[in-house]
Structure formats: structure tokens, C-alpha cells
Amino acid sequence: MGSSRAKHWAFMVVIAVLWIPVPLFAATPVFTVPDTPSGKTYTINENVVIGTLIDTLSATDAGNGVIAFSIQTQTPSTPSKFAIDNGVQLVTTASFDYETEASKSYVLYITATSNAAASGTATATVTVSVADVNDNRPVFSSDIYFASIAENTASGNRIVFKQYLLVRPMSLFVTEASN
């Protein structure tokens, strides 16, 4: 009789364990390092090509759901410079020019959403800074220069060129003397 009662209680305990509900927050995604909610900063050169990979996004979900990433906001909001490609790749979608950029950095708020039944949404901050590159060709200050030297000018003597338009003196050195 006692053995039967023990089996009964054991059965009840098993049932109780099986009926423990899954907490609602179980499927809330969590960004993994380095895409922590506190933020990650990347620096890109101003001459990167469109489509450059900035970050491969990653998040975990206790509910084993499929996680989708999206850019919630970009600051400044225009022009749009980034997108998420192939589901997880944060890439550039426009060119950059350090000299004319209204802002030298962009702050992106990225959300991770799980398709699990009791899903939640996590947000991470990614800051992308644009670095200056010497991407400008040298430019002469004038198109035409002129100078006159004596025919017996020795090699190494300084001669003075004058710019055709600005008449601004500049110094050069003779590297070869002719007869």
C-alpha cells in the first residue's frame, strides 16, 4: 500500500516538472561580443568601396529562434549609408568623403528580433567613424611659370620662377646647365 502511494507521489512530481512553463523572456535575443548593447566602434577610411563589410552581426536566443537584424536608426539619418546584407552583414551602401561629410561618424541602432513564439527584441549600438585619407591629387598653384637665367649659370644655383598669373616668386634649383 505504502509503495503504491510512493509511486503516486513520484508520478505527481514528474508531472509537475513537465508542466513548468517556459519564461516569457526565454527567447529574447542577446547580442554577442563584440556587438554588445553598450556599443562597438569601427573606423573606416573615407575611400572604402560601396559594399564594404563593417561588422558581422551576431546574437543568441535562448529559445533557439531565428534572429533577424535590422537598422532601426542611423544618426545622422541622411544620407543613408548602411544596410544589412545576407541577414547578418553590416555593409556600406554609399561612398564617403571626409572633407565634405556633414558628420565624421554615424551611430547605428541595430535591433535583433527572434521569430520564437515569445520573442523579444535586443538593441545594440554600432558607431562607424570615417577616417581621413590623402585622396586628393597635388595641384599646381599656376598653370604656367617662367624664369630666365644666364647661359653660364652653374649647376646648383638657385633660379627664380614667376607664376604667369599670380607673379608670385618661387625657388627652384638648376639641375643641369647647357651650353
Residues binding Ca ion (CB under 5 A): 97-99, 132, 135
Residue number, 85 or 97, with CB nearest to Ca ion: 97
Residue number, 98 or 145, with CB nearest to Ca ion: 98
Please give the Cα distance from 110 to 130 (Å, whole number).
19
Tell me the residue number closest to Ca ion, measured at CB.
97
Minimum CB separation of residue 80 from Ca ion in Å reads: 19
Minimum CB separation of residue 90 from Ca ion in Å reads: 22
Q: Which cell is 150 given?
A: 644666364
Minimum CB separation of residue 44 from Ca ion in Å reads: 13
Please enumerate in sequence order all residues whose Cβ is within 8 A of that of 16, keeping only pairs 6 or more positions apart, or say none: none
**What's the angle, vertex CA 76, arms to CA 72 and CA 77, rounded to 5?**
50
Nearest to 81 by CA among 113, 39, 127: 127
Residue number, 30 or 130, with CB nearest to Ca ion: 130
